[in-house]
Amino acid sequence: MSNLLCTESVTGETRALVDQQMCTSQKVFDNLLKLEMRYVPRMNPINSAQRTITSEHRRVCTSWMLEITEECKFENSVFPLAVSLMDRFLCLGPLSRAHFQLTACTSLFIAAKLRSVHLFPRGIFEYHTDFAVTSSQIVSWEALMTIKLGWDLASVSANDIVDHIYLRLPALHRLPHGDVICAHAHVLAHLAITDASNITEKPSVIATAAILGALRGLCVNTITAESLCQITRANKIVVENLATLNEKLLANYMMSSHRFDSFN
């Protein structure tokens, strides 16, 4: 029995690798493309349901949310899920700016529960909001959000689709920096989500534009925009325009230090 004793010690976090079988399955990919429309808002809440929250408020807020997830070293899927939850909740009716900040924190809290191997550190939201948002408020608001969203919380995000596209590009795997391109695509997808004009855009289109932008950023010309659009059945013109927007968002993100100010 002593031979069966495991003496290995696990250090750090254990995270699941990308499932090759799932990400290369055409049936799974087709289901993702069908399901994505279920979670895309039919209208931009900034221009319709919201009265006091502007595109700039949302940009600052989502940039802050991105910085928090990066600081906590969360998986790529946590941030886009949190923004999706927040946008869907904003579509349900007008919010005050104080509740907007609370909604952002709660969306991150829920997304981490669903997509991460660990939760947010204790007290992080109180620290980053200067105690404008408390843990008890988040717990109460979490119950409200889950009920209002009908407990349908596991949205399809652009970052979910990036890996599926990447594994469908054999030419990309042969490149020495293929993994870097995939990592850059995840970053560009995150930045695209921070722009309010993309709220009603399909995740598959955002993912396609992100990979196209990553390829161009690293001067890889072996994969064309047409071949990428064939995979996701996306409109080439829309993808090209979004890839151009991503370049501007990346430049702005690199130049400026984002800071989230309380909307109270």
Whether residue 178 is found in the same domain as residue 135: no
Tell me the residue length of the chain. 264
pLDDT at 264: 43
Report pTM.
Answer: 0.87
Q: Which of 119, 148, 177 is the last residue of a domain?
A: 148
Encode pLDDT of 118-127 as tens digits: 888 888 888 8
Residue where a domain stops, chosen among 148, 174, 190: 148
Which among 191, 161, 151 has a CA at the least distance from the CA of 35? 161
pLDDT at position 16 is 66
Residues 89 and 107 in one domain: yes
In percent, how much of the chain has pLDDT > 90? 52
193 and 249 both lie in a single domain: yes
Residues 141 and 165 in one domain: no
Over residues 133-185, the pLDDT tens digits come to 888 999 999 999 999 999 999 999 999 999 899 888 888 777 778 788 889 99
Residues 201 and 237 in one domain: yes
Note the helical H segments in the chain.
Answer: 20-24, 26-39, 55-71, 78-90, 97-115, 124-128, 135-148, 158-166, 170-173, 178-194, 203-217, 225-232, 236-255
**What's the total number of domains in the chain?**
2
Q: What is the pLDDT of residues 197-217, one digit of tens each?
A: 999 999 999 999 999 999 998
Residue with tokens 């689709």: 161
**Are 73 and 131 within one domain?**
yes
Longest Cα pair distance anywhere in the chain, in angstroms?
68
CATH label of the domain that carries residue 88: 1.10.472.10
**In this predicted model, what pLDDT tens digit does every residue of 18-73 receive, in sequence order?**
777 787 789 999 999 999 999 999 889 988 888 889 999 999 999 999 999 988 88
60, 112: one domain: yes
**Do the domain assignments include residue 17?**
no
* Over residues 232-248, mean pLDDT: 92
Choose the final residue of a domain: 96, 127, 148.
148
Segments forming the whole domain that contains residue 124: 51-148
Residues 119 and 144 in one domain: yes
